[in-house]
Structure 1
């Protein structure tokens, strides 16, 4: 008997959307579904690496790039909106072809607005029911909510109620039966391992801000005596090496290797991207956040977590080693172990 095929599509904006789809893909396999994966760029490369035996298809690229001046990002996205709308139209048309060619029975789309079809049950995954964009937040949130309404269900990878990770991003004042809180999604599991590194540095996100932060951190730690694992978050065959042997540099870590690294460090330094926050929540880590300049969501999450006493943060241009001195004054993350059973979620299909 042919297993039901579910199309799982992830947005390529950093690697977070692809990585948080990994536990969903594994759950589909475990529950006797056959996932078909779709994305573009680095996100697609990551999915191919994690699931070499699963069909992986390329979708049109949104090609969202950051500006060098963070203050111009919102206006660049606004300027790019006609092109993005064309990409949504193209991926919607391509989705129809994928459904026909691969006999798809249902769709799970992580922030890809055009990957849907009226003839099938379709799910949208997002932690952003509200999209923070400064003085245009009301309009960006309404656009997001309008697109979400085109899907049968919206799965929010967070906890319901006041003890949650996403705050106002993932929680509206009015209830909606189509919204399901499925618990934080992470490919990382907590393990009891000896401490090998003082700091694990995880870089992520679009250029040029990733490179700006990389340079700043390498300059700050160049003479350090701390043991550091520095994950650059790039797909490159060229390895970087430093004279300081206390700093172990890797371009990227996958699966079990990343899990081992995260469980064998004292502290994590990272962007305050939501996928990273979910990973740190899973392993109950202590962290220091440096939000991507100009990305309102990351700035909000970093500020919120500091106010809650969970993790400190600073702006990228203000980072120095002295900023790390008060890490022990913060509680770190606590895992409340909430999880919506995937078997129940998949009955939609």
Structure 2
């Protein structure tokens, strides 16, 4: 019998779920049987990607963003009792899942309660340091304390000086077995004809996703080139709408998204870490608009702008004219990094 491995990404935007796709594919290729566990849009996306795999719904964290970026930390603090309750429910759910599903190991992508002493439990994160402004020391300490309860930590980045995550994924004070597994992406670069001058790729929790969508539609009215706009709404049916030079999808599955990104000259998106990894794999020129108040995205956007790779600005400041900067930046490039999944999975 194949060993069954529970793969559980956090439902916070689509990034955690999408970067688990190459992990799930690698498990299948190495003769394991992945079992998907998540909630909300993350679960919906993975069920669409892997319809033949078993999947289990986990308790939801139900965390939403503040409408104003400056209230982000306060909103998170206010939501913390709800978060702790969800983590407790998650642990209870894992005990039940292990008792009834013959699970041999766990891979948790940022789900804090998805672990067990009964089986080997791995935590995937690019945030060994959790940025939260003047409370960074505290959020980092709390996060690292939780990670230490796992058997191993996998960081989707390279260990050396040339890396994507910067200080997020690199810590000198972290006492747990840590493996740098290279940037994770479900995509492959193809040399294809460019069909879209611009592609908009939205995702992330509400209400910020909708606020950016409205802002971009307003600005792109005056864009003369061809635009492909993906809203990042995981609905039951895929919808396609054409308004002038803009083609609008509610969502795309991996195959179509990979094709569309390869066919697009420039991508506008959030600066979430999974998006950064995907665009690096595809060697893309981009423009980043970090989620207001999300320190991690603001740090990544600022860092990549300072490295002259990708221009960025905050949400309120974005105008169509800012896209003129894109060609003066180098764009993102992939790393030559091969993951030895066989060695990685030998833990199980």
Give the superposition deviation at 1:10: 0.7
Are the counterparts in 1 of residues 238 and 249 from structure 2 also a CA contact under 8 Å? no
Partner in structure 2 of residue 296 of structure 1: 295
Partner in structure 1 of residue 333 of structure 2: 334
What is the rounded CA distance, in whole Å, between the counterparts of 2:251 and 2:346 in structure 1? 36
Considering only aligned residues, what root-mean-square deviation do their CA atoms show, in Å? Answer: 1.2
Give the secondary structure class of the aligned counterpart of 2:150.
Answer: coil
Return the TM-score normalized by structure 1. Answer: 0.97
Unaligned runs of 5+ in 1: none
Are the counterparts in 2 of residues 184 and 339 from structure 1 also a CA contact under 8 Å? no
Partner in structure 2 of residue 286 of structure 1: 285
What is the rounded CA distance, in whole Å, between the counterparts of 2:139 and 2:174 in structure 1? 20
Partner in structure 2 of residue 107 of structure 1: 106
* 1:13 counterpart = 2:46: no
Are the counterparts in 1 of residues 223 and 320 from structure 2 also a CA contact under 8 Å? no
What is the rounded CA distance, in whole Å, between the counterparts of 2:202 and 2:114 in structure 1? 28
CA deviations 1:131-160 (Å, max 9, x no partner) are: 111111110010100000000000000011
What is the rounded CA distance, in whole Å, between the counterparts of 2:138 and 2:287 in structure 1? 31
Residue correspondence of structure 1 range 128-147 to structure 2 within 5 A: 128-147=127-146
Residue correspondence of structure 1 range 67-82 to structure 2 within 5 A: 67-82=66-81
Partner in structure 2 of residue 204 of structure 1: 203
What is the rounded CA distance, in whole Å, between the counterparts of 2:317 and 2:69 in structure 1? 15
* 1:267 counterpart = 2:266: yes
Are the counterparts in 1 of residues 153 and 176 from structure 2 also a CA contact under 8 Å? no
Give the superposition deviation at 1:340: 2.6
Are the counterparts in 2 of residues 311 and 327 from structure 1 also a CA contact under 8 Å? yes
Give the superposition deviation at 1:77: 1.1
Partner in structure 2 of residue 122 of structure 1: 121
Partner in structure 2 of residue 171 of structure 1: 170
CA deviations 1:303-335 (Å, max 9, x no partner) are: 000000110001110111110112111111121
Return the TM-score normalized by structure 2. Answer: 0.97
Q: 1:160 to 1:258 in 2, by over 3 A?
A: same
Give the secondary structure class of the aligned counterpart of 1:47.
Answer: helix
Are the counterparts in 1 of residues 35 and 55 from structure 2 also a CA contact under 8 Å? yes
Give the secondary structure class of the aligned counterpart of 1:297.
Answer: helix
Partner in structure 1 of residue 55 of structure 2: 56
Give the superposition deviation at 1:223: 3.1
What is the rounded CA distance, in whole Å, between the counterparts of 1:253 and 1:135 in structure 2? 38
Are the counterparts in 2 of residues 199 and 228 from structure 1 also a CA contact under 8 Å? yes
CA deviations 1:238-295 (Å, max 9, x no partner) are: 8474541x11100111121000001011111100000000000101111100000010
Unaligned runs of 5+ in 2: none
* 1:188 counterpart = 2:177: no
What is the rounded CA distance, in whole Å, between the counterparts of 1:238 and 1:143 in structure 2? 40
